[in-house]
Every structure is written in structure tokens, then in C-alpha cells.
């Protein structure tokens, strides 16, 4: 492989207390990234080179313990602080997971999809495999070219009461999510995408983020790659990826994070639309998802960021739960990656335009943050760019910036298209929102 292309990265999922023996190549050190778990709970995602010949389980555990010492100590301390009588000898975190799986509140999972019948069926399989008892799954077939998705869901899940497929003729991720939101009858609604698989603790972690804290209006979690086999897949992780770490955080307008000068407008730090949950009424009160944003619109994205910021600006809290984990199938080709990065830039610019339009009183604060925003975007030493390798294509950085500049026009086009149609059936009561149920 040439030196200007990153090597594939081996991805592993390892229980720290039961590590496997790892085989390796005879003569080459292999790059790896390991999701480290303790008592089923993910606590870190670490880089670890696998030496020629591999590692024994004992050696692997020793190296991982050295890499995740603080995270391991925090997890064990939290377990020790829990109710020791609740788990019948199990660690507290496992007892809590069982309790919520069996008797947690009812939840709805909404999965928009378009022309991906096999992928969305696999995603539904992963959601059902969580075993969460009080669960409704809504697949929203959104602008597909045929009824293949509806037929696939029917074939795979039959007349099961926990899986429904809703069909919409008009495309748009926001429309699909709003349709699911309108159909849901539960207080908690989770959203994912058709190209992910969810972790067994996904729903439990989301519910725990809401439990005991009525101010929490939204919960997000990390998105890890399913594979890093091609340069494009490695580069999308260097671009920023979707993993925001393994430390629990709660974001509130009145308590900004330390040194977060772009808060709350750098909404990508909160999470992403492939892995988010809301209190239904909190999302409805903000108007749902803006149909001038998101996939299927000129903006190509940004609807998730707008929803996160709207929750915070309206006085709610957003919790980041590391155990609320999904895995995403990154695009393998560089050509597709270029389109994705351009779309991320357009979505970011469109979302910022929406915030300025819907909240003109906040425009001075947004303008005042522009110098810091440009440094964050352009400075090679910024948190956004410091992790990029020497192989990262400059073209991708240029495309993101071009997209950002195109965002305001894309949002204007999206609003014009929405208004030129028959007229939205709004979700919620926000007179400013451009959202609809479908």
C-alpha cells in the first residue's frame, strides 16, 4: 500500500475481564481500535497496535488496563455505589440493565428508510435483539421507488405487533421522522438510521439518560464504525466521526461546558441523527424536525443539529450517554465520501441559517462566535483538525468549507420548496417551524 493511503484498521469488541487471544500477522504490526467493555458496558474506544504474531489474552488485558485505567476506576466506583442488594450477585450495572429491559417505560423507535429493504430489516433485527420488553418499532418507508421495503418488513416480521411499516410518497428524512413522531404514543422516542446496528444496551442506556431527571429532553450517544477497511472509511473518522467519547455529559444553556466558546451552536458535539432520543412532547413543542433541513432537501442535513439546539435554547437539558451506542456502515468509496463531506458542510451552514432566522435575538451571539468558529474550522491545531493524519485529503477540507458557504442558500431553497408545495401539516405548536407530519 502506498504511503499516502491509510492502512485498514482492525476493529475489536473486548470484555476487559475475558479478553481473547489475538492472532496477528507474522511480520507486520497491525493497527486496531478496541471497544473496551466492563460488565457489558462500553467504557472506552482505544487505539492499540497488535504486534507481529498477535497477543495473548493476558497481554491484551494488561495493555488495555494501562490504557483505560481512569475509565475502569470510574466504572467500578459507580458500580460500588449502587444498590448491592438489587442484582442477586450481579454487578449493579448489569442488574440495572435487566431491570430496565424488563420493566422500563414503553418506547418507540423510528427508522426512516429509502430503497434499502435488507439494510433496514437488519437494523430492525438489532433493535429487537435488545430484548427491551415495552417496544414499538416504526419503519418509515420514505419516497422509495417500489414497495420492496414494505414487502421485506412484512416477510421478515409478519404480523408482529412490535414492528410497523409506514409508507410515505414524499421524500425527506425530516418528514419521515415527523411521521414517526406523530404516530408514536410513548413519552420516549428514539431515532436511528437504516444503515446502523444498535448495541444490546442501546435502549436501556437511552432510558437511563431520562430516568430521574425530568429536565432531560434529549439523549444521544456514540456512533462507532462497523469497519475501517478502506481509506474513505478511515478518513471519515478523521473528519470527525460520530464518537463523542465515553464520558457522561449533560448540556444545559445556563451551564456551558468549560472552554466551549461555540456552545450551544457547535451542535455536532452533542451527537448525530443516527443515534438520538427525545421526550416526545419536548420535540413536539419545538415543532419537530424542520422539513427544510435533512436528507432529501437542498440542505442535505442539519435537521438533527437544529433539533438538539432547539431543545437547549428552550431550556431543556441534553444528556450524552456513552452506553447508548450504535455502529454505522461508513461508505467505502472516496467518491461517495466527497459527496458526504460536502453534504455535511451544507447541512451545517443551513442549520446555522435556520437558528439565525428562527431566533433573531441570538444573531449577535452567533456573529460574536464567528472568529472562534473559523479558528475551529481552519486551524490545524483545533480539536476538529488535530486528529487528521498526513494522508487526509485536503480536498475533503475544501469541500466541507464550500458546503458551509452554500448552506444559507440551500436552506432558503428548502423553505421555498416547502412553501410552494400544498402546505405542511405541522407537528407541534411552533409557528416558526417548517415541520410537517407527512
Instruction: Tell me what the mean pLDDT of segment 128-146 comes to.
Output: 96
Q: Cell 438489532 sits at which residue?
A: 126
pLDDT-derived band at 208 (thresholds 50, 70, 90) equals very high
C-alpha cell at 246: 465515553
C-alpha cell at 134: 415495552
- Between CA 112 and CA 168 the distance in angstroms is 10
What is the predicted pLDDT for the residue at 88? 67
What is the predicted pLDDT for the residue at 85? 54
Instruction: Tell me what the mean pLDDT of segment 247-258 comes to.
Output: 91
What is the predicted pLDDT for the residue at 245? 86
Could you give the angle at the alpha carbon of 350 between the alpha carbons of 355 and 321, nearest 5°? 70
C-alpha cell at 91: 454487578
- Between CA 181 and CA 175 the distance in angstroms is 10
Q: Look at the alpha carbons of 328, 331, 336, 338 in this order and tell me if their dihedral is positive or negative.
A: positive
- Residues with Cβ within 8 Å of 47's Cβ and at least 6 positions away in sequence, in order, are 31, 32, 33
Beta bridge mates, 139: 111, 165
- Between CA 268 and CA 188 the distance in angstroms is 22
Q: Rounded to the nearest 5°, which phi and psi values hold at 400?
A: -60, -45
- Between CA 377 and CA 366 the distance in angstroms is 15
What is the predicted pLDDT for the residue at 332? 96
What is the predicted pLDDT for the residue at 259? 72
- Residues with Cβ within 8 Å of 175's Cβ and at least 6 positions away in sequence, in order, are 142, 168, 291, 296, 436, 437, 438
Query: How many residues are given for the chain?
Result: 438
Instruction: Tell me what the mean pLDDT of segment 407-416 comes to.
Output: 96
C-alpha cell at 359: 431566533
pLDDT digits (tens, 9 = 90+) for 1-47: 344 789 999 999 999 999 999 887 666 678 899 999 999 999 999 99
Task: Of 304, 237, 301, give the one whose Cα is nearest residue 270.
Answer: 304
pLDDT digits (tens, 9 = 90+) for 364-411: 888 888 888 888 888 887 878 888 999 999 999 999 999 999 999 999
- Residues with Cβ within 8 Å of 302's Cβ and at least 6 positions away in sequence, in order, are 293, 294, 346, 347, 348, 349, 350, 351, 354, 407, 411
pTM, full prediction: 0.92
pLDDT-derived band at 86 (thresholds 50, 70, 90) equals low
Whether residue 149 has pLDDT greater than 90: yes
Instruction: Tell me what the mean pLDDT of segment 279-305 comes to.
Output: 96
- Residues with Cβ within 8 Å of 273's Cβ and at least 6 positions away in sequence, in order, are 173, 191, 193, 294, 303, 304
Task: Of 48, 59, 40, 58, give the one whose Cα is nearest residue 97.
Answer: 40
Q: Cell 494501562 sits at which residue?
A: 66
C-alpha cell at 239: 473528519
Q: At what angle do helices 117-128 and 148-157 cross, to 10 degrees?
A: 30
Domain limits, the chain: 10-81, 199-421
- Residues with Cβ within 8 Å of 317's Cβ and at least 6 positions away in sequence, in order, are 213, 215, 216, 217, 218, 250, 251, 252
Amino acid at each position: 500500500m502506498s504511503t499516502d493511503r491509510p492502512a485498514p484498521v482492525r476493529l475489536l469488541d473486548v470484555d476487559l475481564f475475558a479478553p481473547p487471544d489475538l492472532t496477528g500477522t507474522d511480520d507486520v504490526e497491525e493497527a486496531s481500535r478496541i471497544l473496551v467493555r466492563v460488565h457489558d458496558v462500553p467504557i472506552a474506544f482505544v487505539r492499540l497496535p497488535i504486534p507481529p504474531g498477535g497477543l495473548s489474552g493476558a497481554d491484551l488485558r494488561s495493555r488495555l488496563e494501562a490504557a483505560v485505567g481512569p475509565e475502569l476506576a470510574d466504572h467500578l466506583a459507580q458500580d460500588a455505589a449502587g444498590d448491592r442488594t438489587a442484582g442477586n450477585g450481579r454487578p449493579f450495572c448489569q442488574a440495572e440493565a435487566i431491570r430496565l429491559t424488563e420493566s422500563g417505560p414503553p418506547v418507540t423507535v423510528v427508522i426512516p428508510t429509502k430503497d434499502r429493504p435488507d439494510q433496514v430489516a437488519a437494523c430492525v433485527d438489532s433493535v429487537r435483539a435488545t430484548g427491551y420488553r415495552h417496544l414499538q418499532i416504526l419503519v418509515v418507508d420514505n419516497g422509495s421507488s417500489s414497495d420492496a421495503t414494505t414487502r421485506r418488513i412484512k416477510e421478515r416480521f409478519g404480523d408482529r405487533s412490535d414492528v410497523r411499516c409506514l409508507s410515505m410518497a414524499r421524500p425527506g428524512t425530516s418528514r419521515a421522522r415527523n411521521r414517526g413522531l406523530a404516530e408514536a404514543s410513548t413519552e420516549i422516542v428514539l431515532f436511528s438510521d437504516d444503515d446502523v446496528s444498535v448495541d444490546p444496551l442501546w435502549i436501556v442506556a437511552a432510558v437511563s439518560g431520562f430516568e430521574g431527571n425530568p429536565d432531560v429532553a434529549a439523549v444521544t450517544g456514540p456512533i462507532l464504525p462497523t469497519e475501517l477497511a478502506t481509506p474513505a472509511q478511515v478518513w471519515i473518522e478523521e473528519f470527525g466521526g460520530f464518537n463523542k467519547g465515553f464520558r457522561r455529559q449533560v448540556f444545559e444553556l445556563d451551564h456551558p461546558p468549560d472552554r466551549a466558546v461555540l456552545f450551544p451552536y457547535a451542535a455536532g458535539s452533542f451527537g448525530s441523527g443516527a443515534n438520538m432520543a427525545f421526550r416526545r412532547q419536548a420535540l413536539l413543542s419545538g415543532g419537530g424536525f424542520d422539513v427544510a433541513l435533512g436528507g432529501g432537501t437542498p440542505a442535505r442535513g442539519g435537521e438533527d443539529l437544529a433539533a438538539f439546539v432547539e431543545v437547549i435554547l428552550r431550556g431543556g437539558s441534553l444528556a450524552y450517554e456513552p452506553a447508548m451506542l450504535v455502529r454505522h456502515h461508513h461508505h467505502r468509496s472516496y467518491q461517495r465520501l466527497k459527496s458526504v463531506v460536502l453534504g455535511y458542510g451544507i447541512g451545517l451552514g443551513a442549520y446555522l441559517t435556520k437558528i439565525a432566522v428562527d431566533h433573531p435575538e441570538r444573531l449577535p451571539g452567533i456573529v460574536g462566535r464567528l472568529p472562534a468558529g473559523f479558528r475551529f474550522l481552519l486551524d490545524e491545531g483545533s480539536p476538529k483538525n488535530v486528529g487528521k493524519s498526513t494522508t487526509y485529503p485536503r480536498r475533503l477540507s475544501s469541500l466541507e468549507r464550500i458546503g458551509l458557504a452554500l448552506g444559507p442558500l440551500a436552506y432558503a431553497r428548502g423553505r421555498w420548496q416547502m412553501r410552494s408545495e400544498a402546505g405542511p401539516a405541522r407537528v407541534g405548536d411552533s409557528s416558526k417551524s417548517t415541520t410537517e407530519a407527512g
